[in-house]
Structure 1
C-alpha cells in the first residue's frame, strides 16, 4: 500500500524542487550583476565608438557575449528549474566573412533580446534575492528559536530576542508562551516562503523563455518547415503505396487478363467452347479488376466524400468496419476539401485500428464544429492500450494532423475504453 502523501502546503519547504529554486535565486544575483556590468560596459563603449569603425566590432562582440550569457542562463534554468528552452538560431553571415558576421549579429533580433535580458534581469534578481533571503532567513530562524534561545542569556547577556528597549523598559521574547508564538510565526514564514519563491522563479521562466529563446516567428518558421517536410514525405509514401497497389493488383490482373484473352482468341477457331469458357473467366477477372480500381480510387479520394460530404462518406466507412459503428455528424457547413479529406482518412484509419486491434463490440464516431475547430472523436469499448508512440499508426496519424495545425489526443487505459479526439482547423 502506498504511503499517504503530506499536503502540498506542508511538504513544499522540504521538496527538492523548492531547494533547487532557492539555489537558482541565490546564484542568480551574482551572475546577473556580472552580466549587467559587462553588457553595459561593452555596449556603451561600442555605441560611443560608432562614430569610428571601432564601434562596430565592439558592439557586435558585445552582442555575441550576451548570447553566451544566454546560453549559461538556459543551462541554469534547465538544471535547477527543469525548464528547457531551445537556443535561437546561430548567427551566420551571408558571405562567411567577418564583416558579414558583424552585420548579421547587429541585425539579429535574438541578440538584442539577450542584451535586454542582461539589463532587465539584474533588478529582478536583486528583488528576488532580497525577498527570498529575508523570508527564508527569518522563517527558519524564528521557527527554530526554541532550539537556540539559550544563546542569548549564555553569551549575549540578555533574556532573548529584544522587541523593545528604551533604557528603562525592555521587552524580550523569553517566556515559554512568547517562544512558542515566535516559533509559530516562523513556521508560517517557512510554509509561505516556498510559494513566494515559486512565484519569483515563474517570472524568471517568463524572462528566459521570452528573451533567451527563439522568437515566435522563428519557431513558427521552423515548425512550418518541419510540417512541409512531413507533408512531402507523406505524399511520397502515398504515391509509392498507390504505385505498389496498382502494380500488385489491377496491373497484374489486367496483364493476366490480356494473356487469357490472347489464348482465347487463338482457340476461338479450333475450340469455340474452350474459348467461351476462357472469355467467361476473363469477364470475371474484369469485374474483380474494376472492383480493385474502385477500392484504390476510394483510398485516394472517395467520390462520395466529394459529392455528399463527411456524413455520407463516414457512414460508408462505418458500414465496412468489423464492428457496428454509430456515426453522428453535426456540421453547419462543409470545411475546405483538404481538411475534409484529412478528417475522412483519419476516421478511416482509426476505424481500421478498431477492426484489427481493439477487440471491441461497438464503436462510435462523432463529428462536430467547436468555434474555429473541426472536432472528431472515435470511441470503442475494446481492450484499450492504444498509444501514439513512435512507430505506431497513431503516431503517423498524429504527424499528419499536426501538419495542418491539428491535435490528436489518445485516452486508452489498459482494459479500455479507448477514445481518440482530433482537432482540425476549420477552414470553410
Structure 2
C-alpha cells in the first residue's frame, strides 16, 4: 500500500480547517466593492477619528507630568510626581485596550498590576518606576500622538474628498445658485478660469470620487494595522510575562497529566495484575494443602496457576508498554510506530524519515500521540486504511496521521483530541485537525526537536 504523503508534500503549509471551523461566507460582490460599506471599515475609521482627541489629552498629560517629575527630581517630590504620571499613562492604557477590543477587534491581555512589596505608598511608587510596562505606556503616549495626527488627517481627507467628489453631481447646483460660479474651480487667472460644470466633467469628478471611496477603506485598514501593532506591542504584557503565564499553565497541564497517568497505572495494577496475583497466591495455597492427599487435584491447580502467571505477565508487559515501550528505547520511532500500527484494526502504512533521533521525552510524546490517534481511527473513524508519516523540518518534529474514514473530528472541549492538544501545547507543540464531514481526516502534530 502506497503512502498518501510523500516527500513532495511535506513542506506544504499546515491547514487549520476542520469540521468545527465556520465555512467561508460567499459574497455576491467582490471585496473591493464591499469594503466601503462594511462595518469593519467604519469601525476602524471611527477608531482613527477618536485617536486624535484622545492622543492629544494623553500626550499632554504625559509630557506635563513627566517633565514636571523630571524637573523636581532634585527634590523628593519629583519621584512621586513621575510615578503619578506613569500611573496615569497606565490608566489611559486600560481605556485604549478597551477601545481596541471594541473597534479594532484586537484582544490584548491586561498586564500584571503594580504591587509594592510592603504595601505602602513608597513601595507602590518604587514598583511603578521599576515596571517596564509603565514605561512602555509612557512611550505609547509619546509615539501615538504624531501617528494619530497623521492617521486622522489622511483617513478623513481621503474619505471626505472621496464622498464629496462622488456626490458632486448632486450638489454642483450650489455654486451657480449661491456662489455665482459654474462649479468647483480647477484653475483661474486674470484671463480665464476652468470650472467643473460640463456633463463630462461632472461624470469624471464622480468617477474619481468613486475610485477614492474604493481605495480609502484599504488605506484605513493599513493605518489601523499600525495602531494594532502599537497597542499590542506597547500596551500589552511583555513577552517575558506572557511566557511565564504560558509556562505556568503548561506546568499545570503536565502535573495534571502526570497525576492522571499515575491514577491509571494504579487502577490497572489494582484491577488487573494485582488482583490476578492475589487469586494466584490463593490457588497455590489450596494446591499446597491438597498436595499430600490429592496430588492429581493439586497438579491441576498448579497447571491453572501456571496459566494465570502467563496472563499476569502479559498484563504487566502491556502496562509497561503503556508507560514506555522497550522497542521505542531500543530501536526508535520507526520500529515502535510499526509495532502499534500492526495492532490497529485497519491497515496502516508507516513512513519515518529521520536521520537521527530526537530527545527521549519528545520521542515518547510522539509515540503516544500516534498511538492515541490510531486508537481513534480504530474506534471512531470507520476507515479502511490509514497512514502515518514522520519527518523533521528544521528544529521541529512533524507527525501526520491520515485516514479515509467518515471525518468530523474536531478539537471541541471535552474531546480526546482537545486533551491531546493540551499535552502537546505543554511542550510547545501544536495539533492541527483537518477533518471535513465525509473525510478524509488529516491530523498533524508538531513538536520541538530537542535532540
For residues 76 and 332 of structure 1, do their structure 2 counterparts lie closer, same or farther at Cα, with a shift above 3 Å needed?
same
For 1:202, the equivalent position in structure 2 comes to: 225
Q: Distance in 2 between matches of 1:300 and 1:3?
A: 49
How many corresponding residue pairs? 427
For 2:87, the equivalent position in structure 1 comes to: 64
3-state SS in 1 of match to 2:390: strand
User: Cα distance, 1:366 vs. partner?
Assistant: 0.4
Q: Distance in 2 between matches of 1:288 and 1:173?
A: 98
1:131 to 139, 154, 166: 154
1:75 lines up with 2:130 in the alignment: no
For residues 262 and 3 of structure 1, do their structure 2 counterparts lie closer, same or farther at Cα, with a shift above 3 Å needed?
closer
1:339 lines up with 2:362 in the alignment: yes
1:100 lines up with 2:123 in the alignment: yes
User: Cα distance, 1:391 vs. partner?
Assistant: 0.9
Q: Distance in 1 between matches of 2:78 and 2:278?
A: 77
Q: Distance in 1 between matches of 2:116 and 2:336?
A: 53
For 1:303, the equivalent position in structure 2 comes to: 326
3-state SS in 2 of match to 1:306: helix
1:383 lines up with 2:406 in the alignment: yes
CA deviations on 1:378-410 (whole Å, 9 max, x unpaired) are 000100011111111111111111111111100
For 1:47, the equivalent position in structure 2 comes to: 70
For 1:25, the equivalent position in structure 2 comes to: 48
1:230 lines up with 2:253 in the alignment: yes
User: Cα distance, 1:3 vs. partner?
Assistant: 7.6
* Structure 1: gaps (5+ residues): none
2:205 to 169, 182, 187: 182
For 1:312, the equivalent position in structure 2 comes to: 335
For residues 34 and 162 of structure 1, do their structure 2 counterparts lie closer, same or farther at Cα, with a shift above 3 Å needed?
same
CA deviations on 1:313-371 (whole Å, 9 max, x unpaired) are 00000011111111001100011100100000000000000001001000100011111
Q: What pairs with 1:115-154 in structure 2 (closer than 5 Å)?
A: 115-154=138-177
3-state SS in 2 of match to 1:49: helix
Greater relative CO (CA pairs within 8 A, separation 6+): 2
Q: What pairs with 1:269-280 in structure 2 (closer than 5 Å)?
A: 269-280=292-303
- TM-score normalized by the length of structure 1: 0.98
Q: Distance in 1 between matches of 2:394 and 2:308?
A: 50
Q: Distance in 2 between matches of 1:15 and 1:85?
A: 24
Q: Distance in 1 between matches of 2:399 and 2:193?
A: 75
3-state SS in 1 of match to 2:291: helix
For residues 199 and 321 of structure 1, do their structure 2 counterparts lie closer, same or farther at Cα, with a shift above 3 Å needed?
same
2:429 to 400, 406, 411: 406
3-state SS in 1 of match to 2:109: coil
- TM-score normalized by the length of structure 2: 0.93
For residues 111 and 367 of structure 1, do their structure 2 counterparts lie closer, same or farther at Cα, with a shift above 3 Å needed?
same
CA deviations on 1:7-49 (whole Å, 9 max, x unpaired) are 1111111101000011001111000000000111111111111
